[in-house]
Structure 1
Amino acid sequence: MKQNYRSCPEEYLVKLEIKKYANNTVKSYVSLFEAFINFFNKKKLSTINDEDIRLYLQKLVQENRSNSYINQSINSIKFYYEIVLGMPNRFYSIDRPRKEKKLPQVISKSEVMKILDNTNNLKHRCIVGLLYSAGLRRNELINLKLSDIDSNRMLIRIESGKGNKDRYSLLSNQILDDLRIYYKKWRPKKYIIEGQYGGQYSGQSIAVIVTKAAKKAGIRIRVTPHMLRHSFATHLLEAGVDLRQIQVLLGHSSSKTTEIYTHVATSTFSSIKNPLDL
Protein backbone atom coordinates (compact mmCIF):
# COMPACT_ATOMS: atom_id res chain seq x y z
CA MET A 1 0.00 0.00 0.00
CA LYS A 2 1.25 3.47 -0.93
CA GLN A 3 2.64 5.70 1.77
CA ASN A 4 0.06 8.17 3.15
CA TYR A 5 -2.74 6.13 1.57
CA ARG A 6 -6.04 6.91 3.26
CA SER A 7 -8.25 3.92 3.97
CA CYS A 8 -12.03 4.05 4.13
CA PRO A 9 -13.15 5.48 7.52
CA GLU A 10 -14.30 2.89 10.04
CA GLU A 11 -17.68 4.59 10.47
CA TYR A 12 -18.26 4.21 6.71
CA LEU A 13 -17.71 0.43 6.95
CA VAL A 14 -19.91 0.15 10.04
CA LYS A 15 -22.77 2.01 8.33
CA LEU A 16 -22.55 -0.26 5.27
CA GLU A 17 -22.78 -3.28 7.56
CA ILE A 18 -25.74 -1.85 9.51
CA LYS A 19 -27.56 -1.07 6.25
CA LYS A 20 -26.89 -4.68 5.10
CA TYR A 21 -25.59 -3.68 1.69
CA ALA A 22 -24.70 -6.59 -0.62
CA ASN A 23 -21.04 -7.70 -0.59
CA ASN A 24 -20.46 -6.53 -4.15
CA THR A 25 -21.93 -3.10 -3.35
CA VAL A 26 -19.76 -2.82 -0.23
CA LYS A 27 -16.59 -3.65 -2.19
CA SER A 28 -17.52 -1.18 -4.91
CA TYR A 29 -18.40 1.68 -2.52
CA VAL A 30 -15.23 1.20 -0.44
CA SER A 31 -12.96 1.05 -3.49
CA LEU A 32 -14.55 4.10 -5.15
CA PHE A 33 -14.65 6.17 -1.95
CA GLU A 34 -10.99 5.42 -1.23
CA ALA A 35 -10.09 6.55 -4.75
CA PHE A 36 -11.98 9.78 -4.05
CA ILE A 37 -10.47 10.58 -0.64
CA ASN A 38 -6.95 9.86 -1.90
CA PHE A 39 -7.44 12.35 -4.72
CA PHE A 40 -7.79 14.92 -1.92
CA ASN A 41 -5.29 13.27 0.45
CA LYS A 42 -4.15 16.58 1.92
CA LYS A 43 -7.67 17.84 2.68
CA LYS A 44 -9.88 16.98 5.62
CA LEU A 45 -12.99 15.16 4.48
CA SER A 46 -15.19 17.71 6.25
CA THR A 47 -13.72 20.54 4.14
CA ILE A 48 -14.38 18.93 0.74
CA ASN A 49 -17.14 20.89 -1.02
CA ASP A 50 -19.35 20.61 -4.12
CA GLU A 51 -16.72 22.28 -6.30
CA ASP A 52 -14.09 19.75 -5.24
CA ILE A 53 -16.43 16.90 -6.14
CA ARG A 54 -17.12 18.40 -9.57
CA LEU A 55 -13.36 18.62 -10.09
CA TYR A 56 -13.00 14.94 -9.20
CA LEU A 57 -15.86 13.91 -11.50
CA GLN A 58 -14.29 15.95 -14.29
CA LYS A 59 -11.12 13.91 -13.79
CA LEU A 60 -13.13 10.67 -14.16
CA VAL A 61 -14.68 11.95 -17.39
CA GLN A 62 -11.22 12.85 -18.74
CA GLU A 63 -10.09 9.31 -17.90
CA ASN A 64 -12.99 8.01 -20.05
CA ARG A 65 -14.60 6.24 -17.10
CA SER A 66 -18.00 4.72 -17.90
CA ASN A 67 -21.25 6.42 -16.90
CA SER A 68 -21.90 3.52 -14.54
CA TYR A 69 -18.51 4.01 -12.84
CA ILE A 70 -19.13 7.76 -12.41
CA ASN A 71 -22.65 7.22 -11.04
CA GLN A 72 -21.37 4.63 -8.56
CA SER A 73 -18.62 7.06 -7.51
CA ILE A 74 -21.25 9.73 -6.81
CA ASN A 75 -23.28 7.19 -4.81
CA SER A 76 -20.24 6.23 -2.71
CA ILE A 77 -19.48 9.89 -1.96
CA LYS A 78 -23.10 10.71 -1.14
CA PHE A 79 -23.22 7.71 1.18
CA TYR A 80 -20.44 9.17 3.33
CA TYR A 81 -21.71 12.73 3.61
CA GLU A 82 -25.45 12.05 3.67
CA ILE A 83 -25.74 8.65 5.39
CA VAL A 84 -22.61 8.38 7.55
CA LEU A 85 -22.36 12.06 8.54
CA GLY A 86 -26.09 12.75 8.31
CA MET A 87 -25.87 15.75 5.98
CA PRO A 88 -29.13 15.29 4.02
CA ASN A 89 -29.38 16.11 0.31
CA ARG A 90 -25.96 17.70 0.29
CA PHE A 91 -24.96 16.66 -3.22
CA TYR A 92 -28.25 16.39 -5.07
CA SER A 93 -27.13 19.36 -7.18
CA ILE A 94 -24.26 17.34 -8.65
CA ASP A 95 -24.93 16.57 -12.32
CA ARG A 96 -24.99 12.88 -13.15
CA PRO A 97 -24.13 11.42 -16.56
CA ARG A 98 -27.06 9.93 -18.45
CA LYS A 99 -27.52 6.26 -17.76
CA GLU A 100 -26.52 4.12 -20.72
CA LYS A 101 -29.48 2.20 -22.12
CA LYS A 102 -27.91 -1.03 -23.26
CA LEU A 103 -29.99 -4.02 -24.24
CA PRO A 104 -29.37 -7.27 -22.36
CA GLN A 105 -27.29 -9.80 -24.26
CA VAL A 106 -28.95 -13.22 -24.52
CA ILE A 107 -28.28 -16.63 -26.03
CA SER A 108 -30.74 -19.20 -27.41
CA LYS A 109 -32.11 -22.14 -25.44
CA SER A 110 -30.18 -24.56 -27.69
CA GLU A 111 -26.98 -22.70 -26.81
CA VAL A 112 -27.82 -22.97 -23.09
CA MET A 113 -28.23 -26.75 -23.54
CA LYS A 114 -24.86 -26.90 -25.31
CA ILE A 115 -23.23 -25.10 -22.37
CA LEU A 116 -24.81 -27.58 -19.93
CA ASP A 117 -23.52 -30.49 -22.03
CA ASN A 118 -20.01 -29.03 -22.05
CA THR A 119 -19.53 -28.51 -18.31
CA ASN A 120 -16.63 -30.44 -16.77
CA ASN A 121 -18.56 -32.23 -14.01
CA LEU A 122 -21.91 -32.50 -12.25
CA LYS A 123 -21.20 -29.63 -9.85
CA HIS A 124 -20.46 -27.31 -12.76
CA ARG A 125 -23.60 -28.52 -14.53
CA CYS A 126 -25.67 -27.68 -11.44
CA ILE A 127 -24.10 -24.22 -11.30
CA VAL A 128 -24.98 -23.42 -14.92
CA GLY A 129 -28.39 -25.09 -14.61
CA LEU A 130 -29.40 -23.13 -11.50
CA LEU A 131 -28.24 -19.79 -12.92
CA TYR A 132 -30.36 -20.30 -16.04
CA SER A 133 -33.40 -22.28 -14.85
CA ALA A 134 -34.10 -20.01 -11.84
CA GLY A 135 -32.80 -16.73 -13.28
CA LEU A 136 -30.35 -16.33 -10.42
CA ARG A 137 -27.77 -13.62 -9.96
CA ARG A 138 -24.29 -14.98 -9.26
CA ASN A 139 -24.35 -13.74 -5.65
CA GLU A 140 -27.75 -15.35 -5.11
CA LEU A 141 -26.40 -18.72 -6.22
CA ILE A 142 -23.42 -18.39 -3.86
CA ASN A 143 -25.79 -17.75 -0.92
CA LEU A 144 -28.27 -20.52 -1.83
CA LYS A 145 -28.66 -22.97 1.04
CA LEU A 146 -29.83 -26.58 1.10
CA SER A 147 -32.97 -25.48 2.95
CA ASP A 148 -33.86 -23.11 0.08
CA ILE A 149 -34.77 -25.98 -2.25
CA ASP A 150 -38.48 -26.80 -1.96
CA SER A 151 -38.94 -29.96 -4.03
CA ASN A 152 -42.56 -30.38 -2.92
CA ARG A 153 -43.63 -27.07 -4.43
CA MET A 154 -40.87 -27.10 -7.09
CA LEU A 155 -39.66 -23.69 -5.97
CA ILE A 156 -36.35 -22.13 -4.93
CA ARG A 157 -36.32 -19.57 -2.13
CA ILE A 158 -33.90 -16.71 -2.74
CA GLU A 159 -33.22 -15.05 0.59
CA SER A 160 -32.17 -11.41 0.70
CA GLY A 161 -31.59 -10.96 -3.00
CA LYS A 162 -30.74 -7.58 -4.47
CA GLY A 163 -32.24 -4.83 -2.29
CA ASN A 164 -32.52 -7.30 0.62
CA LYS A 165 -35.73 -8.73 -0.84
CA ASP A 166 -36.73 -12.40 -0.50
CA ARG A 167 -38.46 -14.10 -3.42
CA TYR A 168 -39.22 -17.47 -4.97
CA SER A 169 -38.20 -18.74 -8.38
CA LEU A 170 -38.75 -21.92 -10.38
CA LEU A 171 -37.11 -25.27 -9.67
CA SER A 172 -36.52 -27.32 -12.80
CA ASN A 173 -37.28 -31.07 -12.69
CA GLN A 174 -34.11 -31.70 -14.68
CA ILE A 175 -31.97 -29.65 -12.31
CA LEU A 176 -33.60 -31.29 -9.28
CA ASP A 177 -32.53 -34.71 -10.60
CA ASP A 178 -28.97 -33.37 -11.09
CA LEU A 179 -28.97 -31.84 -7.60
CA ARG A 180 -29.98 -35.12 -5.96
CA ILE A 181 -27.14 -37.02 -7.65
CA TYR A 182 -24.75 -34.15 -6.88
CA TYR A 183 -25.77 -34.12 -3.20
CA LYS A 184 -25.08 -37.85 -2.79
CA LYS A 185 -21.61 -37.41 -4.28
CA TRP A 186 -20.46 -34.07 -2.79
CA ARG A 187 -22.44 -33.98 0.48
CA PRO A 188 -22.54 -30.16 0.90
CA LYS A 189 -23.19 -29.17 4.51
CA LYS A 190 -24.89 -25.76 4.34
CA TYR A 191 -24.76 -24.18 0.90
CA ILE A 192 -25.95 -25.85 -2.29
CA ILE A 193 -22.64 -25.09 -4.00
CA GLU A 194 -19.63 -25.27 -1.69
CA GLY A 195 -15.91 -24.99 -2.25
CA GLN A 196 -13.52 -27.94 -2.19
CA TYR A 197 -13.02 -27.59 1.56
CA GLY A 198 -16.56 -26.45 2.40
CA GLY A 199 -17.90 -22.92 2.81
CA GLN A 200 -19.21 -20.61 0.13
CA TYR A 201 -18.13 -20.96 -3.47
CA SER A 202 -16.16 -18.22 -5.20
CA GLY A 203 -18.07 -15.85 -7.47
CA GLN A 204 -15.04 -15.59 -9.72
CA SER A 205 -14.95 -19.39 -10.08
CA ILE A 206 -18.60 -19.40 -11.17
CA ALA A 207 -17.82 -16.85 -13.91
CA VAL A 208 -14.88 -18.96 -15.12
CA ILE A 209 -17.03 -22.13 -15.21
CA VAL A 210 -19.71 -20.46 -17.36
CA THR A 211 -17.23 -18.80 -19.72
CA LYS A 212 -15.15 -21.96 -20.24
CA ALA A 213 -18.19 -24.20 -20.81
CA ALA A 214 -19.57 -21.74 -23.39
CA LYS A 215 -16.25 -21.58 -25.19
CA LYS A 216 -16.04 -25.38 -25.20
CA ALA A 217 -19.58 -25.46 -26.61
CA GLY A 218 -18.42 -23.38 -29.56
CA ILE A 219 -20.37 -20.23 -28.67
CA ARG A 220 -18.53 -17.32 -30.20
CA ILE A 221 -19.51 -14.57 -27.79
CA ARG A 222 -18.25 -14.44 -24.21
CA VAL A 223 -21.01 -15.79 -21.97
CA THR A 224 -21.33 -14.53 -18.38
CA PRO A 225 -23.50 -15.77 -15.48
CA HIS A 226 -25.75 -12.72 -15.83
CA MET A 227 -26.36 -13.52 -19.51
CA LEU A 228 -27.95 -16.78 -18.37
CA ARG A 229 -30.33 -14.78 -16.15
CA HIS A 230 -31.16 -12.48 -19.10
CA SER A 231 -31.74 -15.55 -21.28
CA PHE A 232 -34.06 -17.11 -18.67
CA ALA A 233 -36.29 -14.00 -18.69
CA THR A 234 -36.24 -13.64 -22.47
CA HIS A 235 -37.09 -17.30 -23.12
CA LEU A 236 -40.01 -17.11 -20.67
CA LEU A 237 -41.33 -14.02 -22.46
CA GLU A 238 -40.97 -15.75 -25.83
CA ALA A 239 -42.94 -18.71 -24.42
CA GLY A 240 -45.85 -16.38 -23.59
CA VAL A 241 -45.30 -15.96 -19.83
CA ASP A 242 -46.81 -12.71 -18.52
CA LEU A 243 -44.34 -9.88 -17.94
CA ARG A 244 -45.60 -9.38 -14.38
CA GLN A 245 -44.87 -13.03 -13.55
CA ILE A 246 -41.35 -12.68 -14.96
CA GLN A 247 -40.88 -9.54 -12.83
CA VAL A 248 -41.75 -11.55 -9.71
CA LEU A 249 -39.37 -14.39 -10.64
CA LEU A 250 -36.49 -11.96 -11.26
CA GLY A 251 -37.19 -9.88 -8.14
CA HIS A 252 -37.44 -6.57 -10.00
CA SER A 253 -38.95 -3.71 -8.01
CA SER A 254 -40.19 -1.95 -11.12
CA SER A 255 -41.94 -3.43 -14.16
CA LYS A 256 -39.93 -0.99 -16.31
CA THR A 257 -36.78 -2.98 -15.51
CA THR A 258 -38.43 -6.17 -16.76
CA GLU A 259 -39.89 -4.51 -19.86
CA ILE A 260 -36.42 -4.27 -21.40
CA TYR A 261 -36.70 -7.95 -22.36
CA THR A 262 -39.45 -7.09 -24.84
CA HIS A 263 -36.71 -5.38 -26.88
CA VAL A 264 -34.79 -8.66 -27.38
CA ALA A 265 -37.53 -11.34 -27.34
CA THR A 266 -38.13 -12.87 -30.79
CA SER A 267 -41.88 -12.89 -30.05
CA THR A 268 -41.79 -9.08 -30.31
CA PHE A 269 -40.71 -9.30 -33.95
CA SER A 270 -42.27 -12.59 -35.15
CA SER A 271 -45.54 -10.98 -36.29
CA ILE A 272 -43.76 -8.21 -38.23
CA LYS A 273 -43.13 -8.90 -41.90
CA ASN A 274 -39.76 -7.75 -43.20
CA PRO A 275 -40.33 -5.05 -45.87
CA LEU A 276 -37.94 -6.84 -48.23
CA ASP A 277 -40.18 -9.93 -48.10
CA LEU A 278 -43.49 -8.12 -48.58
Structure 2
Amino acid sequence: MIDKPTSPLRQRMIEDMTARRYTEKVQKSYLLHISRFAVFLGRSPDTATVEDVRLYQLHLAKQHFGAPTVNVAVVALRFFFNVTLERPELARHLTSLHKPRRAPVVLNQEEMARLLEAAPGLKYKAAFGVAYGAGLRVSEVVALKVSDIDSKRMTLRVEQGKGQRDRYVMLSPQLLEWLRDWWRAARPQAWLFPGQNPVNPMSARQLSRVVRETARTAGIAKRVSPHTLRHSFATHLLEQNVDIRVIQVLLGHAKLETTALYTQVAVNTIRDVTSPLEKLTANLAGRPPV
Protein backbone atom coordinates (compact mmCIF):
# COMPACT_ATOMS: atom_id res chain seq x y z
CA MET A 1 0.00 0.00 0.00
CA ILE A 2 1.01 3.64 -0.46
CA ASP A 3 2.57 5.06 2.67
CA LYS A 4 0.34 7.19 4.87
CA PRO A 5 0.45 10.78 3.57
CA THR A 6 2.47 13.24 5.62
CA SER A 7 0.83 16.43 4.33
CA PRO A 8 -2.51 17.65 2.95
CA LEU A 9 -0.79 18.30 -0.39
CA ARG A 10 0.40 14.71 -0.69
CA GLN A 11 -3.05 13.48 0.34
CA ARG A 12 -4.68 15.59 -2.34
CA MET A 13 -2.39 14.27 -5.02
CA ILE A 14 -3.11 10.69 -3.95
CA GLU A 15 -6.84 11.40 -4.13
CA ASP A 16 -6.46 12.99 -7.57
CA MET A 17 -4.65 9.88 -8.85
CA THR A 18 -7.08 7.49 -7.17
CA ALA A 19 -10.03 9.29 -8.73
CA ARG A 20 -8.48 8.64 -12.14
CA ARG A 21 -7.88 4.98 -11.23
CA TYR A 22 -4.11 5.14 -11.48
CA THR A 23 -2.52 1.90 -10.34
CA GLU A 24 -0.61 1.72 -7.06
CA LYS A 25 2.63 1.30 -9.00
CA VAL A 26 2.01 4.51 -10.97
CA GLN A 27 1.03 6.40 -7.84
CA LYS A 28 4.21 5.38 -6.03
CA SER A 29 6.30 6.42 -9.04
CA TYR A 30 4.64 9.84 -9.30
CA LEU A 31 4.96 10.50 -5.57
CA LEU A 32 8.63 9.55 -5.68
CA HIS A 33 9.34 12.07 -8.42
CA ILE A 34 7.42 14.85 -6.68
CA SER A 35 9.38 14.08 -3.49
CA ARG A 36 12.64 14.38 -5.42
CA PHE A 37 11.49 17.71 -6.82
CA ALA A 38 10.69 18.91 -3.28
CA VAL A 39 14.14 17.85 -2.05
CA PHE A 40 15.72 19.77 -4.92
CA LEU A 41 13.68 22.88 -4.05
CA GLY A 42 14.31 22.61 -0.34
CA ARG A 43 10.69 23.64 0.30
CA SER A 44 7.13 22.59 -0.48
CA PRO A 45 6.66 21.89 -4.21
CA ASP A 46 3.46 23.96 -4.32
CA THR A 47 5.67 27.07 -4.05
CA ALA A 48 7.55 26.26 -7.28
CA THR A 49 8.11 28.91 -9.93
CA VAL A 50 8.77 28.66 -13.66
CA GLU A 51 12.46 29.25 -12.94
CA ASP A 52 12.46 26.38 -10.42
CA VAL A 53 11.06 24.06 -13.08
CA ARG A 54 13.74 25.15 -15.56
CA LEU A 55 16.53 24.62 -13.03
CA TYR A 56 15.19 21.21 -12.04
CA GLN A 57 15.22 20.00 -15.64
CA LEU A 58 18.78 21.29 -15.92
CA HIS A 59 19.59 19.36 -12.73
CA LEU A 60 18.19 16.13 -14.23
CA ALA A 61 20.28 16.65 -17.36
CA LYS A 62 23.47 17.19 -15.35
CA GLN A 63 22.78 14.03 -13.35
CA HIS A 64 22.77 12.09 -16.65
CA PHE A 65 19.46 10.38 -15.99
CA GLY A 66 18.23 8.30 -18.92
CA ALA A 67 15.31 9.34 -21.09
CA PRO A 68 12.84 6.93 -19.41
CA THR A 69 13.55 8.35 -15.93
CA VAL A 70 13.37 11.95 -17.10
CA ASN A 71 10.15 11.35 -19.01
CA VAL A 72 8.42 9.73 -16.03
CA ALA A 73 9.50 12.70 -13.90
CA VAL A 74 8.04 15.07 -16.50
CA VAL A 75 4.72 13.18 -16.61
CA ALA A 76 4.53 13.16 -12.80
CA LEU A 77 5.23 16.88 -12.58
CA ARG A 78 2.71 17.65 -15.30
CA PHE A 79 0.04 15.80 -13.35
CA PHE A 80 1.03 17.58 -10.14
CA PHE A 81 1.01 21.04 -11.72
CA ASN A 82 -2.06 20.59 -13.95
CA VAL A 83 -4.33 18.57 -11.69
CA THR A 84 -3.30 18.88 -8.05
CA LEU A 85 -2.04 22.47 -8.04
CA GLU A 86 -4.13 23.70 -10.98
CA ARG A 87 -1.16 25.73 -12.20
CA PRO A 88 -0.84 24.75 -15.88
CA GLU A 89 1.62 27.59 -16.55
CA LEU A 90 4.30 25.53 -14.79
CA ALA A 91 3.59 22.38 -16.81
CA ARG A 92 3.96 24.22 -20.12
CA HIS A 93 7.71 24.56 -19.52
CA LEU A 94 8.33 20.82 -19.05
CA THR A 95 10.11 19.04 -21.89
CA SER A 96 10.24 15.29 -22.55
CA LEU A 97 13.30 13.60 -24.03
CA HIS A 98 13.22 11.63 -27.24
CA LYS A 99 13.97 7.97 -26.55
CA PRO A 100 15.63 6.36 -29.58
CA ARG A 101 13.92 3.14 -30.62
CA ARG A 102 16.21 0.18 -30.95
CA ALA A 103 15.50 -2.99 -32.85
CA PRO A 104 14.35 -5.63 -30.33
CA VAL A 105 16.38 -8.75 -29.58
CA VAL A 106 14.65 -11.74 -31.18
CA LEU A 107 15.33 -15.47 -30.91
CA ASN A 108 15.16 -17.55 -34.05
CA GLN A 109 12.96 -20.65 -33.94
CA GLU A 110 15.86 -23.00 -33.19
CA GLU A 111 16.93 -20.85 -30.22
CA MET A 112 13.34 -20.64 -29.05
CA ALA A 113 13.03 -24.42 -29.11
CA ARG A 114 16.24 -24.77 -27.08
CA LEU A 115 14.98 -22.31 -24.49
CA LEU A 116 11.67 -24.15 -24.06
CA GLU A 117 13.39 -27.51 -23.82
CA ALA A 118 15.73 -26.18 -21.11
CA ALA A 119 12.88 -24.79 -18.97
CA PRO A 120 13.28 -26.02 -15.37
CA GLY A 121 10.01 -27.90 -14.91
CA LEU A 122 6.42 -27.82 -16.10
CA LYS A 123 5.61 -24.50 -14.42
CA TYR A 124 8.26 -22.52 -16.25
CA LYS A 125 7.79 -24.36 -19.52
CA ALA A 126 4.13 -23.34 -19.40
CA ALA A 127 4.99 -19.75 -18.41
CA PHE A 128 7.59 -19.47 -21.20
CA GLY A 129 5.02 -20.97 -23.57
CA VAL A 130 2.48 -18.29 -22.65
CA ALA A 131 5.01 -15.48 -23.18
CA TYR A 132 6.05 -16.83 -26.60
CA GLY A 133 2.92 -18.67 -27.73
CA ALA A 134 0.51 -15.84 -26.88
CA GLY A 135 2.85 -12.83 -26.90
CA LEU A 136 2.08 -11.69 -23.36
CA ARG A 137 4.07 -9.17 -21.33
CA VAL A 138 5.77 -10.57 -18.22
CA SER A 139 3.30 -8.71 -15.99
CA GLU A 140 0.43 -10.29 -17.92
CA VAL A 141 1.89 -13.80 -17.70
CA VAL A 142 2.21 -13.76 -13.91
CA ALA A 143 -1.24 -12.17 -13.48
CA LEU A 144 -3.06 -14.98 -15.31
CA LYS A 145 -5.70 -16.90 -13.40
CA VAL A 146 -6.81 -20.47 -14.04
CA SER A 147 -10.22 -19.06 -14.96
CA ASP A 148 -8.65 -17.01 -17.78
CA ILE A 149 -8.17 -20.19 -19.84
CA ASP A 150 -11.03 -20.86 -22.26
CA SER A 151 -10.31 -24.20 -23.92
CA LYS A 152 -13.60 -24.19 -25.85
CA ARG A 153 -12.92 -20.89 -27.59
CA MET A 154 -9.14 -21.53 -27.50
CA THR A 155 -8.39 -18.13 -25.99
CA LEU A 156 -6.64 -16.64 -22.99
CA ARG A 157 -8.19 -13.63 -21.28
CA VAL A 158 -5.75 -10.89 -20.37
CA GLU A 159 -7.34 -8.83 -17.64
CA GLN A 160 -6.34 -5.19 -17.25
CA GLY A 161 -3.21 -5.33 -19.38
CA LYS A 162 -1.12 -2.27 -20.17
CA GLY A 163 -3.33 0.78 -20.39
CA GLN A 164 -5.86 -1.00 -18.16
CA ARG A 165 -7.43 -2.74 -21.15
CA ASP A 166 -8.81 -6.27 -21.27
CA ARG A 167 -8.17 -8.37 -24.37
CA TYR A 168 -8.28 -11.95 -25.61
CA VAL A 169 -5.30 -13.70 -27.18
CA MET A 170 -5.00 -16.98 -29.01
CA LEU A 171 -4.44 -20.26 -27.18
CA SER A 172 -2.67 -22.79 -29.38
CA PRO A 173 -3.30 -26.55 -28.93
CA GLN A 174 0.35 -27.06 -27.95
CA LEU A 175 0.19 -24.35 -25.29
CA LEU A 176 -3.08 -25.75 -23.96
CA GLU A 177 -1.39 -29.15 -23.60
CA TRP A 178 1.47 -27.62 -21.59
CA LEU A 179 -0.95 -25.70 -19.40
CA ARG A 180 -2.91 -28.89 -18.73
CA ASP A 181 0.29 -30.76 -17.86
CA TRP A 182 1.13 -28.03 -15.35
CA TRP A 183 -2.39 -27.97 -13.90
CA ARG A 184 -2.50 -31.75 -13.45
CA ALA A 185 0.89 -31.67 -11.69
CA ALA A 186 0.25 -28.75 -9.31
CA ARG A 187 -3.50 -28.11 -9.29
CA PRO A 188 -3.18 -24.30 -8.95
CA GLN A 189 -6.39 -22.88 -7.52
CA ALA A 190 -6.56 -19.18 -8.36
CA TRP A 191 -3.34 -17.90 -9.89
CA LEU A 192 -2.17 -19.95 -12.85
CA PHE A 193 1.46 -19.46 -11.78
CA PRO A 194 1.41 -19.00 -7.99
CA GLY A 195 4.40 -17.79 -6.02
CA GLN A 196 6.00 -19.50 -3.04
CA ASN A 197 2.94 -18.37 -1.11
CA PRO A 198 0.02 -19.59 -3.29
CA VAL A 199 -2.03 -16.60 -2.15
CA ASN A 200 0.14 -14.44 -4.41
CA PRO A 201 1.14 -14.90 -8.06
CA MET A 202 4.73 -15.53 -9.06
CA SER A 203 6.55 -12.22 -9.30
CA ALA A 204 7.66 -10.74 -12.62
CA ARG A 205 11.19 -10.51 -11.19
CA GLN A 206 11.22 -14.23 -10.45
CA LEU A 207 10.09 -15.15 -13.95
CA SER A 208 12.64 -12.76 -15.48
CA ARG A 209 15.44 -14.32 -13.44
CA VAL A 210 14.52 -17.85 -14.52
CA VAL A 211 14.30 -16.82 -18.18
CA ARG A 212 17.83 -15.36 -18.03
CA GLU A 213 19.22 -18.44 -16.27
CA THR A 214 17.52 -20.80 -18.71
CA ALA A 215 18.91 -18.91 -21.70
CA ARG A 216 22.42 -19.35 -20.32
CA THR A 217 21.77 -23.05 -19.71
CA ALA A 218 20.55 -23.40 -23.29
CA GLY A 219 23.75 -21.79 -24.58
CA ILE A 220 22.01 -18.73 -26.02
CA ALA A 221 24.46 -15.82 -26.18
CA LYS A 222 21.83 -13.14 -26.76
CA ARG A 223 20.54 -11.02 -23.89
CA VAL A 224 17.22 -12.73 -23.16
CA SER A 225 14.32 -11.55 -21.01
CA PRO A 226 10.62 -12.47 -20.93
CA HIS A 227 10.03 -9.55 -23.31
CA THR A 228 12.38 -11.26 -25.80
CA LEU A 229 9.82 -14.07 -26.02
CA ARG A 230 7.08 -11.54 -26.77
CA HIS A 231 9.30 -9.88 -29.40
CA SER A 232 9.94 -13.30 -30.96
CA PHE A 233 6.21 -14.07 -31.04
CA ALA A 234 5.45 -10.88 -32.98
CA THR A 235 8.41 -11.25 -35.34
CA HIS A 236 7.70 -14.89 -36.18
CA LEU A 237 4.04 -14.07 -36.91
CA LEU A 238 5.14 -11.25 -39.21
CA GLU A 239 7.46 -13.66 -41.01
CA GLN A 240 4.46 -15.97 -41.49
CA ASN A 241 2.72 -13.09 -43.30
CA VAL A 242 0.14 -12.52 -40.57
CA ASP A 243 -1.44 -9.09 -41.04
CA ILE A 244 0.35 -6.51 -38.91
CA ARG A 245 -3.02 -5.16 -37.67
CA VAL A 246 -3.88 -8.60 -36.29
CA ILE A 247 -0.51 -8.71 -34.53
CA GLN A 248 -1.22 -5.25 -33.10
CA VAL A 249 -4.46 -6.52 -31.53
CA LEU A 250 -2.80 -9.66 -30.15
CA LEU A 251 -0.02 -7.64 -28.55
CA GLY A 252 -2.41 -5.05 -27.14
CA HIS A 253 -0.60 -2.15 -28.79
CA ALA A 254 -2.49 1.13 -28.85
CA LYS A 255 -0.53 2.38 -31.88
CA LEU A 256 0.30 0.54 -35.09
CA GLU A 257 3.70 2.26 -35.23
CA THR A 258 4.72 0.33 -32.10
CA THR A 259 3.96 -2.98 -33.81
CA ALA A 260 5.68 -1.82 -36.99
CA LEU A 261 8.99 -1.87 -35.10
CA TYR A 262 9.09 -5.63 -35.69
CA THR A 263 9.45 -5.14 -39.42
CA GLN A 264 13.06 -4.18 -38.68
CA VAL A 265 13.87 -7.68 -37.42
CA ALA A 266 11.57 -9.92 -39.49
CA VAL A 267 14.47 -11.47 -41.40
CA ASN A 268 12.40 -13.80 -43.57
CA THR A 269 10.13 -10.95 -44.64
CA ILE A 270 13.10 -8.75 -45.52
CA ARG A 271 14.85 -11.58 -47.34
CA ASP A 272 11.78 -12.43 -49.45
CA VAL A 273 11.42 -8.90 -50.82
CA THR A 274 12.66 -8.60 -54.39
CA SER A 275 15.06 -5.71 -54.81
CA PRO A 276 14.20 -3.24 -57.61
CA LEU A 277 17.75 -3.84 -58.82
CA GLU A 278 16.76 -7.37 -59.85
CA LYS A 279 13.97 -6.10 -62.11
CA LEU A 280 16.20 -3.38 -63.50
CA THR A 281 18.89 -5.93 -64.32
CA ALA A 282 16.34 -8.20 -65.98
CA ASN A 283 15.08 -5.32 -68.14
CA LEU A 284 18.61 -4.39 -69.12
CA ALA A 285 19.36 -7.99 -70.05
CA GLY A 286 16.34 -8.06 -72.37
CA ARG A 287 17.25 -4.85 -74.22
CA PRO A 288 19.03 -5.15 -77.57
CA PRO A 289 22.60 -3.85 -77.65
CA VAL A 290 22.99 -0.23 -78.78
TM-score, with structure 1 as normaliser: 0.89
**Percentage identity across aligned positions?**
36
Find the counterpart in structure 1 of residue 251 from structure 2. 250
- Distance in 2 separating the partners of 1:79 and 1:169: 33
Asked if the contact 1:235/1:265 (under 8 Å) is kept, the reply is: yes
Letter in 2 for 1:70: V
Find the counterpart in structure 2 of residue 82 from structure 1. 82
- Distance in 2 separating the partners of 1:109 and 1:32: 42
Q: Structure 1's 232 and 10: CA in aligned 2 closer, same or farther, altered over 3 A?
A: same
Q: Which runs of 5+ in 1 are unaligned?
A: 1-5
- Distance in 2 separating the partners of 1:27 and 1:212: 30
Q: How does 1:4-19 map to 2 (within 5 A)?
A: 9-19=10-20
Letter in 2 for 1:214: A
Correspondence 1:240 to 2:241 = yes
- Distance in 2 separating the partners of 1:193 and 1:209: 13
Find the counterpart in structure 2 of residue 37 from structure 1. 38
Find the counterpart in structure 2 of residue 263 from structure 1. 264
Greater C-alpha radius of gyration: 2
- Normalized per residue, the structure richer in helix is 2
| 1:255 positional shift | 1.0
Q: Which runs of 5+ in 2 are unaligned?
A: 1-5, 282-290
Q: How does 1:1-278 map to 2 (within 5 A)?
A: 9-40=10-41, 42-88=42-88, 90-198=90-198, 199-270=200-271, 271-272=273-274
Q: Which has the higher contact order (CA 8 A, sep 6+)?
A: 1
- Distance in 1 separating the partners of 2:165 and 2:224: 27
- Distance in 2 separating the partners of 1:9 and 1:109: 50
| 1:124 positional shift | 1.0
| 1:23 positional shift | 4.8
1:23-48: CA deviation from partner (whole Å, max 9, x where unpaired): 543443333332222222x3222111
Q: Structure 1's 240 and 187: CA in aligned 2 closer, same or farther, altered over 3 A?
A: same
- Distance in 1 separating the partners of 2:27 and 2:222: 30
- Distance in 2 separating the partners of 1:131 and 1:89: 44
- Distance in 1 separating the partners of 2:139 and 2:168: 15
Asked if the contact 2:74/2:95 (under 8 Å) is kept, the reply is: no
Find the counterpart in structure 2 of residue 3 from structure 1. none
Asked if the contact 1:134/1:232 (under 8 Å) is kept, the reply is: yes
Give the root-mean-square deviation of aligned CA atoms: 2.3
- Distance in 1 separating the partners of 2:80 and 2:196: 38
